[in-house]
Chain A
Amino acid sequence: MMLSRVAERIYWAARYLERVENTARLVSVYDNLLFDLPRSVNIGWFNLVIINSGTELFFERYKVQDERNVVKFTLADDTNPSSMLSSLTMLRENIRTARDVLPAEAWELVNELLLFARNDIQQGINRNGRHAFLNGIIEGCQGINGLLLGTMSRDAAWHFMRLGCNLERADMTTRLLDAGAAVLQLSEDNDTTNLSQIVWGNVLRSGSAYMAYRRTMRTAVNGSDVARFLLSDEHFPRSVGFCLDQISSATARLPTAGKRYASIKPQLPKHDIRDGFCLSPDFRDYLNDQQLVLAEAHNHIASNWFAHD
């Protein structure tokens, strides 16, 4: 038995939890990426804002697209609803209003994490403390996920958590791939092999996928294989295909009697990922189609279980 309103809040709590971790990862990988890129490659921190669809809002707040402003905007800005701190605050609000169905320790861990983030946010903005700060955030999120994994009954609350977490994860993985493709498209450098290695390597790292990729694909890092792996690997928990399977299996365990959508099974859009495909504009269109699949899955979930009337 679960209230529709509570189901919705749990779903969003899971999305925000995932978003906090992903945002921290993204900044952390960018930190590394920009050290490795040849000076001639002219892509900057601003790409972070583009990935998170924040361009317009950014220019309302800042003029200069430098590292400090971008990092501030991405991590700390209250007026940016997708900033890490905003997501963390929303995570807390959603857990606060769904506390009665979550383990009590989850509430305490979220409070600790928010306190840590607020107190130490300056460390994340300054370059020298950034690594430790972001690690602290990522570890905090993993701690909460671990607690939930180890203590939650596998009832409806759990399945709504899975739905939120996997939708958000799939969304972020498509954004990461898009970011990689964008960097390579924008660069005017001719030495694309070396650059491509650096970029795709970092795309993998930002999804904690580097090791898994090496072991599974047993090949050098190249765009098409990275795309194949991050889109459709059956075993890696952050691949889009894996997340979509999780969504199908979670929705199958929720009550569907009398619901509008008897089954919700989002699929990867069909496309043959040929070598070199990742450099073409078609690839980014493909990723856009992928985003539409996710948006539709969200709408179906909301209509089935969150509708208030």
Chain B
Amino acid sequence: MSIDWKQYDSGGFFDELISSPGNARAPARKLANYLASLDEEELEKRRLMAEATIQEMGVSFTVYTEEGNIDRAWPFDLIPRTISRKQWDKTAAGLKQRLRVLNMFINDLYHDQNVINDGIIPRHLIENSVNFRPECVGVSPPHGVWAHICGTDLVRDGDGEFYVLEDNLRVPSGVSYMLENRAITKRVLPELFENDNIMPIDDYPAQLFDTLAALSPRKVKQPEIVVLTPGIFNSAYFEHAFLAQQMGAELVEGSDLVVSEDDLVFMRTIDGLTRVDVIYRRIDDLFLDPEVFDKGSVLGVPGLMRAWKAGNVALANAPGAGVADDKVIYAYVPQLIKYYLDEEPLLRNVKTFLCENDKDRAYVLENLDKLVVKPANESGGYGMLVGPHSTKKDQAKFAELIKSNPRNYIAQPTLALSTAPTLVDNNKLEPRHLDLRPFILQGKDVYVTTGGLTRVAMKKGSLVVNSSQGGGSKDTWIVDTEAK
């Protein structure tokens, strides 16, 4: 049996592709018609082809388990997710506005702290932030930019609007999968690219390269750019290698780099030592330099902070940028936009309760069964409480956690996350919840990817999209429905 859109029902959630049973939204119309024209055998063939393509392309990610690290094939759902270009352009403008402000904020925090002196952000929030680095005070990175690469998670609520869920400013990952998802779709559903105006996404590596090159302290024609990876056992190693290859940069590990006594960074090559200008680091702050941070770190490079502070090497993202990657700071972003730019936020935040405020905390503790509680500084979906899916025992545990460290917790209403048709067992289409992570670059200019990485919760009814916890992904199409 082939796909019958009349049988598809998103169960009241906003669906990305289908507005009501049998009716596709404008950017998804050609896609829906095409999918309906495939018989079941053909659909199965395409699904198997996608699987084989992923294995052949070696697209994988690492899962940490008790039995050791497993290199797993990337989970990919064949059915793309579509967004109209018009809506995307508005969203992209909002993302740019947001990153510009976050960078102004970080730069302010490490210099005059006007934002605190003017009473916008309470001082103790910064003093108690685990990601504020006193070592970075007074440093002036090029263009005043600290977070050069940002992955912002967006969700669509029942009203069809995009909301910002969080800004990932430390070492956001996923962009290589966004690019690979498109490469897979092009191989498996090539017909669709003939008729639909799907906007290309493949300029990201070039944009990343330009962003990084603009940070070079030496004004040379070909600055030496490297990607610093913690190594093959990191869950995002695939991405590190992918980006290095796409940019024509060297992929280095900490042991490949050395800092000289005059604070210059070199890499060990077959010619001897070669000077390095820009490091796109995919290692957390605390492992960067055992001279300054974690003394036992073998992933980092002794002396790297010295070299960075002396302005002899650029680090992207800059150490300390994570201070704005904090779910409590997140709640202040709309105010920060007004403060720094005197503009209205173009993208909305999700309503957020700060547990350190007495009123908010009381409400949160009363309503643990309805809210999503998140620690302020975790990523990857760890350490969360999803109220409606939790037990009394879980709730009691979180009540204790919140009371003992209120600064570290926020809560948000459970969102009616949008859905999209997803291939499940027996080649049937069922609605699954999803989010979207676009990537924003800021160096001399600001750039936003066309779309982003769509992550989808493969389990029925689940809201957890993280690939480390059973999430899948989809190709994301920005479709220009007005182009001729």
Contact = CB atoms under 8 A, between A and B. Distances in A.
Interface stretch (B28-36, B128-136, B191-199, B265-273): B265-273
Contact of A108 (B57, B250, B253, B268): B57
A96 B245 CA distance: 12
A308 B274 contact: no
Interface string A80-120: 00000000000001001101100010011001100100000
Contact of A111 (B55, B268, B270): B55
A272 B267 CA distance: 48
Contact of A2 (B244, B245, B270): B270
Nearest to B231: A97
B270 A156 contact: yes
Interface of A is mostly: helix
Contact of A99 (B224, B245, B252): B245
Contacts of B252: 3
Nearest to B247: A100
A1 interface: yes
Nearest to B242: A99
A133 B59 CA distance: 26
A221 to B, nearest CB: 42
A254 interface: yes
B272 A258 contact: yes
Interface string A36-47: 000000000000
A2 B267 CA distance: 9
Interface residues of B, number: 23
Chain B CB count within 10 A is highest, among A4, A107, A108, A258, for A4
A305 B271 CA distance: 8
B255 interface: yes
Given A97-B232, A100-B241, A108 B56 contact: yes
Contacts of A6: 250-251
A91 B456 CA distance: 34
B294 interface: no
A255 interface: yes
B256 interface: yes
Contact of B56 (A3, A7, A111, A255): A111
A1 B58 contact: no
Contact of B251 (A4, A100, A257): A100
Contacts of B274: 1
- Dominant secondary structure at the B interface: mixed
B270 A100 contact: no
A258 B270 CA distance: 11
A1 B273 CA distance: 10
A107 B224 CA distance: 25
A1 B225 CA distance: 12
Given A3-B256, A104-B245, A255 B270 contact: yes
Nearest to A2: B270
A257 B268 CA distance: 14
Interface in B46-74: 55-58
Contacts of A115: 55-56
Contacts of A156: 270
A5 B228 CA distance: 14
A101 to B, nearest CB: 8
B241 A2 contact: no
Nearest to B268: A4
A90 B382 CA distance: 34
Nearest to B53: A108
A108 B267 contact: no
A5 B271 contact: no
Interface in B242-263: 244-245, 249-253, 255-256
Contact of A5 (B58, B249, B255): B255
A96 B55 CA distance: 14
Contacts of A3: 250, 252, 256, 267-270
Contacts of A305: 270
Greatest chain A CB density within 10 A among B232, B244, B251, B271 is at B271
B241 A99 contact: yes
B220 to A, nearest CB: 14
B269 A1 contact: yes
B56 A5 contact: no
B391 to A, nearest CB: 42
A275 to B, nearest CB: 46
Contacts of A96: 58, 232, 241
B421 to A, nearest CB: 30
B439 to A, nearest CB: 20
Contacts of A2: 269-271
A255 B271 contact: yes
A233 to B, nearest CB: 31
A209 to B, nearest CB: 33
Given A1-B274, A3-B250, A112 B269 contact: no
Contacts of A255: 270-272
Given A100-B245, A254-B270, A258-B272, A108 B58 contact: yes
B56 A308 contact: no
A69 to B, nearest CB: 28
Contacts of A107: 58
A100 B237 CA distance: 12
A93 B237 CA distance: 12
Nearest to B54: A111
A96 B269 CA distance: 19
Contacts of B271: 1-2, 255, 257
A150 B244 CA distance: 23
Given A96-B232, A100-B241, A100-B245, A112 B270 contact: no
A107 B232 CA distance: 15
Interface in A19-75: none
Given A96-B241, A111-B58, A308 B268 contact: yes
Contacts of B250: 1, 3, 6, 100
A115 B256 CA distance: 32
A93 B253 CA distance: 16
21 contacts: A1-B250, A3-B250, A3-B252, A3-B267, A3-B269, A3-B270, A4-B256, A4-B269, A5-B255, A5-B268, A6-B250, A100-B244, A100-B250, A100-B251, A108-B57, A111-B58, A115-B55, A115-B56, A156-B270, A258-B272, A308-B255
Rank and list the top 5 A-B pairs by shortest CB-CB distance, nearest first. Answer: A100-B245, A100-B244, A111-B58, A255-B271, A305-B270
Given A3-B250, A96-B232, A255-B272, 19 more contacts: A1-B269, A1-B271, A2-B270, A3-B256, A3-B268, A5-B256, A5-B268, A6-B250, A6-B251, A99-B241, A99-B245, A100-B241, A100-B244, A108-B58, A111-B55, A111-B56, A115-B55, A254-B270, A308-B255
